[in-house]
A and B are shown apart, each in its own frame.
Chain A
Amino acid sequence: MTPDPILRICNVSKTFGTVAANVDVSFDVGRGEILGLIGPNGAGKSSLFNAIAGAETPDAGEILLEGKRISGLGAVACTRAGIGRTFQVVRSFDSMTVLENVMVGAFARHARTRPAMAQALEVIAFCGLVPRADVPAHALTPPEKRRLEVARALATQPSVLLLDEMLTGLTPTEAQAGMRLVRDVRARGITVLMVEHVMEVLLPLIDRAVVLHLGRKLAEGSPAEVVRNPDVIRAYLGDRYVA
């Protein structure tokens, strides 16, 4: 379906106790696209997200990056293979400065401090954090912390960047700035997979959307197709809104 997939999700299932978080989910992520992974709360977005990032192992199915299996290898191996991620609840290293935070990411690709610092500075400039480079991470504003998460992940030189609710909770102005950053990331040649549960934030930004509902893939397609899909309307709004 997708002509040149960089990331393939193949029949992934995951159960937590008695709750089926993902049931037989399959879709492809095309090289260089911005794909939105959307769905109401409890749809299984975070579970799938964690499986792709290596933080969780699927019970069945597999996830392929550039044709190689990455599912079940753990977060470290997934990052090395080229998956970068941010966290929904920001996890900055609060005792370290912005530059030091990003350097930790850069050390994923560099053994020595000097090249790691050079790369971290480049990414910090890219993310617009230069004036804050020497500020401790705990002193950043919430949108700055989101930017720091992106910068840190970019420093690991990912081919696919996973963004977990990066735009949620931001003011419209902040969200606009965040969207510009996402477009800039894609312009670097990095494929972006975004998880959001607020659809309207995401629709203008993404090339394609995959909608999850109750653990299953409900719909897939362009933003315009997806919002017209009766199943999606039903899932979000209830039966009586279906035209």
Chain B
Amino acid sequence: MATSPRPNAITRRRTRELVVGAALLVVLALLPLPIAGTYLRGLMVLTLLYAGLAQGWNILGGYCGQISLGHALYFGIGAYTSTLLYTRLGIPPTLGLFAGAALGALAALAVGWPCFRLSGHYYAIATLVVGLMVLLLVQNWGFVNAAMGITIPFRTESWVQLQFRVAVLPFYYVMLGYAAIAWIVAWVVEGSRWGYIWRAVKDDVAAARSLAVRVFPSKMAAAAISGAIVGAGGALYAQYVGFIDPDSVLGLSLSVLIALPAVVGGVGTLWGPLLGAAVLIPVQQLSVAWLGSSGNGVDLMIYGALIMGLALARPQGLVSLFGVRSQAGGEVVDDA
């Protein structure tokens, strides 16, 4: 029996994550310099947005194991909140995004209150239904222009207003900041009491309770953080695109797109959402660009085939390619 405990396996892993994260941030900050094309930069903006969104989804769906198919709801609430505050009251989106995050968190709590009493598939289905209900309501709600959507008028070039004549490069850095903050939040909570409790709840509720884990409040906490991150993302998206309507910010396909990078990259892992977004979003966008999205659906077939292939080849997610410990029963490979 070994005599000296190895108290720092977890600490060492977390330090390594910070170093890699910082290095990655530097690389990503420099990346647009050689890549000049507006199209490619736009692709990178979306990739970073989805990396942040998926990181938010992963807090609830990954660490806590509550698979949500309704996260577009929080995204849409964030988008509509900051947009309405800006267009109706002139409140700058840099403030509006916090209001969007707060309302996103509140909405996630409101959904969680009844739905966390359900488990497994029933929870996922409930979130799906709630999302579709709100989509229908907003499509018919005159106050927010119903299905017509809202166009955000261009007023002045300003970082405070998040408005730019050429939006792609500034928004690259906005979304980089967003993805970085989402990553940092995930890193912090993963190492905190919540991170441990959530994974315990995901693995075995009865055992968690026997260790004094209060299951319902822990799910609510995960939901609030998750909803806030996704709500903030919705606000940023609205400013970037300059137009929102119910289908684009509250649709079911968006809910799936928010969840997929985390699922493909590695559920309940720190790097999974980032990795998943880096693979999925370019593939999705490029297949639309090359094959057209004029309704023939070939892009979706390719996209679907890719996801199926990944799920078969790497059920633990893409992170398992790197020897990173994955949640769903992988091995510790990289621990020297």
What is the interface of chain A, defined by CB distance below 8 A to chain B? 53, 55, 74-76, 79-80, 85, 87, 91-97, 99-100, 103-105, 107-108, 110-113, 116-118, 121, 124-125, 128, 130-131, 133-136, 138-139, 152-153, 155-156
Contact = CB atoms under 8 A, between A and B. Distances in A.
A113 B2 contact: no
Contacts of A135: 332
A108 B212 contact: yes
B34 interface: no
Contacts of B2: 130-131
Nearest to A80: B212
B61 to A, nearest CB: 14
Interface centre among A53, A96, A110, by most B CB within 10 Å? A96
A138 B7 CA distance: 21
B328 interface: yes
B200 A93 contact: yes
A133 B327 contact: no
Interface string B39-82: 00000000000000000000000000000000000000000000
B210 A93 contact: no
Nearest to A90: B207
Nearest to A86: B210
A156 B211 contact: yes
A125 B202 CA distance: 27
Given A76-B212, A87-B206, A100-B10, A131 B335 contact: no
A104 B1 contact: no
Contacts of A110: 193
B193 A113 contact: yes
A95 B212 contact: no
A228 B180 CA distance: 71
Interface centre among B196, B197, B332, by most A CB within 10 Å? B196
Contacts of A97: 9, 332
Contacts of B6: 133-134
A91 B193 contact: no
Interface string B319-336: 000000101111110010
B212 A139 contact: no
Closest 6 CB pairs of A and B: A108-B212, A91-B207, A93-B203, A79-B212, A75-B209, A134-B9
Nearest to A85: B210
Contact of A156 (B9, B212, B328): B212
B206 A91 contact: yes
A94 B325 CA distance: 12
Interface of B: 1-3, 5-7, 9-10, 191-193, 196-197, 199-200, 202-204, 206-214, 268, 325, 327-332, 335
A153 B328 contact: no
B211 A55 contact: no
A95 B199 contact: yes
Contacts of B3: 130
Given A104-B213, A111-B193, A117 B10 contact: yes
Given A95-B202, A117-B10, 7 more contacts: A79-B211, A87-B206, A91-B206, A95-B199, A97-B332, A118-B7, A153-B210
Contacts of B10: 99-100, 117
A138 B212 contact: no
Contacts of B268: 95
A104 to B, nearest CB: 4
B9 to A, nearest CB: 4
A143 B202 CA distance: 24
27 contacts: A75-B209, A76-B209, A76-B212, A76-B214, A79-B212, A85-B210, A91-B206, A92-B203, A92-B204, A95-B327, A96-B203, A97-B9, A97-B332, A100-B196, A104-B196, A104-B200, A104-B208, A111-B193, A113-B193, A121-B5, A124-B5, A133-B5, A134-B9, A136-B325, A136-B330, A136-B331, A138-B329
Nearest to B11: A117
A94 B214 CA distance: 19
B329 A130 contact: no
A153 B203 CA distance: 16
A160 to B, nearest CB: 13
Given A95-B328, A128-B1, A130-B5, A104 B211 contact: yes
B189 to A, nearest CB: 11
Nearest to B191: A113
A152 B204 CA distance: 13
B211 A105 contact: yes
Contacts of B210: 53, 55, 75, 79, 85, 87, 153
A87 B210 CA distance: 9
A93 B204 CA distance: 6
A133 B210 CA distance: 21
Contact of B207 (A93, A112, A116): A93
Contacts of A138: 329
A237 B112 CA distance: 53
Contacts of A94: 203, 329
A117 B199 contact: no
Given A95-B268, A134-B335, A152 B211 contact: yes
B148 to A, nearest CB: 46
Given A104-B200, A107-B196, A92 B207 contact: yes
A113 B192 contact: yes
Contacts of B335: 134
